[in-house]
Amino acid sequence: MEIILADVRGFCGGVKRAVKMAFDNAAKGVYSYGDLVHNEFVVKELEKKGVLTIDDTNIENSKVIIRSHGVHKKILDKLEEKNNEIINCVCPKVEKVYNIVDNFYKKGYNIVIIGNNKHPEVIGINSRCNDSATIISNLEDIKIPEGKTLIVSQTTNNVDFFEKAINIIKDISKDEVLVYNTICNATFKRQESIRNLSKKVDAVIVLGGKKSSNTKKLAEIAKLNCKNVFLIQSINDIDLNIFKKFNKIGITAGASTPESVIKEAVCRMENFDKGEMMEAIDNSFKRIRKGEVVTGEVLYITDSEVMVNLGYRSDGIISKDELAGGPDVNPADLYKQGQEIDVYVLKMDDGDGNVVLSTKRVADMKIWDEVEELYNNKEKITVTIKNQVKGGLTADFRGLNVFIPASHVSVRFQKDLSKFVGEEFETEIIDFDKRKKRIVASRKNVLQEELDKVRDEVYDKLKEGDIIEGTVQRLTNFGAFVDVGGVDGLIHISELSWNRVKHPSDVVSPGDVVKVQVLNVDKEKNRIALGLKQTMEKPWDVFKNEVKIGDVVKGKVVNLLDFGAFVRLEQGVDGLLHVSQIAREHVEKPQDKLSIGEEVTVKVTDIDEENQKISLSIKALIEPEVKEEDEESKPRERKPRRERKVAPKREKKIEEPKQDDFNMTIGEMLGLNFADADLDSEILEDGKEISASEKEETEKSTEE
């Protein structure tokens, strides 16, 4: 009969921590809320030290141990309110799940927990989202709420079950689904170990408490490959004669199972078969291979090497070159005699019978393991930018090379990446390959998360109608984007001014600080509509208060049409300068006299308040209008009568007039040119009188 122990078994780190803290504080008058771990042996040992197990919050002014699986938040709050000292033994992995759920619940995510809804750990996680989580315990009837969803897992969950549930959820969900694999790494390794072991043996013994979730899952995994699986709390709970028919027997233990229970099982099996069984057990404890990481105890330290006890038939040796601190470090500064350290097996024999070890390799592996855990948990890392390369930036994280693509350097396009060299960035790992030693990170995701937080705060604060101050960031053809507390709002081109605007640059420029009114807030569509003109007095109101009909004002030509020109006055309103009012003479087109942008002085000839129209005139300034009634009311001015010249009497022979002489006009005879004179009817009458008088004298002269 051969006994094979699982490589990973027994207490996990969280349980070791919880048990140590509990026993360090164990005494009479100390209480434990629920069983510290799901193992009766540990619970009984605590009871022997005086620790009482309770399931209510009626105690006060006492010391209370909180179990490793955690409790409902309300229970913890009540215990603290009653002035109890809390010994928090909750597993750090579980605490991390608390923080993840609490953070995303506050961001509005629906919470889905994959696990046993009656398990204390799941109850505690659910309390961090106000008991609103959807808990998935089986694959038959999975339903998830609508909207963005966060999925976490019970830390002791079956990895296969978790992955199947995730695939189903992704198929049925139409919204954003964010998955955090919160299964404990120790749980995963323990499950992988029993999965491999169960393929090699005829029977499997699983040691653990009957209430332990992770122990039950180990048994379930073992049954996938081995028909003979026995789940027992201790070796005393089973008849060993059952195992006589099996050639190979595998043994594993749950996370809450003490090492003493495992050793007891080994001892019983030893007594059952002292021959082959004992040899198999002995080999299982001391077998090591090249390339493995094992734990050893420092035996002694010299200036050039460290000797380590591996529990193997030979001791191990670490040369100075293979120390984690580098070849220049003093080994005595790194380790102390009796200290337990993890070492990497380089060679099984150095020629002198020693196993060749390295702590430098372990340190490198641990860093990659830590990065892998950071990647799986979506945790952020701080990197230092080293160089600009093709396609992005390279950065350093604890000696490892990190690549940041250009598209993930910032939330906005960055033309020059060299300016970031030497800076520290908080980033999120977006791609990781441990085998290829590749890490790809994003600063954009971190910045976007911060912007989303600021955005939520701004959207919660802003209300329609608020007058706020912002800074113009950039201009487009359709408007101006303004930063209002970390979030951009849009002033549409129609809301920039009460007047028509051809381009936003006519009103504002990037960097301008402006007061704007909030017109609309749409958080779902991530839109904030702003108005600039609403913070200014309407130009028409200013015009009405300052200008009246007949006033002479200045303005600038802003548009030219066939029927006239539009002039923008100093008050910001436009008036029409009709083509007939541009000049004294006839103007065919406004373009013949005016040009856009030209400053002109005009007279306000009419104001239509109802339709908000203004009539302007330049002609009125050149040739003021004269009304007909004014012309008629003025007395007509008479031109002075022209004095009649009397020709002196000449003594000469009177000749009979020639026929041509009779063809002369009276005006020609008097020396007047009526064709050129502008005489009115009275002057013409005077002319007739003069003409009649001269005729009379001519007749008298003829008679004589």
Give the pairing type, strands 340-347 and 293-301.
Answer: antiparallel
Q: Which residue has the tokens 């105690």?
A: 59
603 pairs with which residues across the strands? 552, 617
| Closest residue by Cα to residue 32 from 59, 11, 14, 12 | 59
For the purposes of burial, counting CB atoms within 10 Å of the CB of 493, is it exposed (0-12), middle (13-18) or buried (19 or more)?
Answer: buried
Which amino acid is residue 149, in one-letter code? T
Q: Residue written as tokens 């209300």? A: 463
Name, in order, each residue with C-beta under 8 angstroms of 245's C-beta and a sequence gap of 6 or more: none
* Amino acid (1-letter code) at residue 430: I
> Residue 661 in contact with residue 615, Cβ under 8 Å?
no
Of 260, 128, 142, the residue nearest 182 (C-alpha): 128
Contact 565, 596 (CB under 8 A): no
Picking from 411, 517, 524, 535, the residue whose alpha carbon sits closest to that of residue 459 is: 524
Nearest to 216 by CA among 184, 252, 247: 252
- Residues forming a β-bridge with 479: 476, 492
What own/partner pairs with CB < 8 Å and gap ≥ 24 does 677-681 have? 679/639, 680/636, 680/639
- Please tell me which residue in 80, 85, 95, 121 is annotated as part of the active site: 121
SS3 content of the chain, % helix, strand, coil (to 5): 35, 25, 40
Strands 564-569 and 599-608: unpaired
- Structure tokens belonging to residue 148: 């963005």
Pick out the residues of the known binding site for dimethylallyl diphosphate.
Answer: 38, 69, 119, 212-214, 256
The answer to whether 32 and 65 are in contact (CB under 8 A) is: yes
d(CA 209, CA 40): 7
Backbone φ, ψ for residue 373 (5° rounding)? -70, -40
Amino acid at 250: G
Annotated binding residues for isopentenyl diphosphate: 38, 69, 119, 212-214, 256
* Maximal CA-CA distance, the chain: 194
DSSP 551: -
- Whole-angstrom CA distances from 452 to 19, 367, 414, 486, 518 are 42, 31, 20, 10, 20
Binding site as annotated, residues: 12, 38, 69, 91, 119, 155, 184, 212-214, 256
Q: At what angle do helices 259-272 and 276-286 cross, to 10 degrees?
A: 150
What's the CA gap between 87 and 244, in Å, rounded?
Answer: 46
Residues 6+ apart with CB under 8 A from 544: 607, 609
* Feature table: binding site for [4Fe-4S] cluster: 12, 91, 184
Distance CA 98, CA 115 (A): 15
Between CA 571 and CA 334 the distance in angstroms is 82
Q: What are the tokens at 10?
A: 């027994």
* Residue whose pair of structure tokens reads 């003021």 in the numeric block: 624
Please say if 372 is a catalytic residue. no
List the catalytic residues. 121
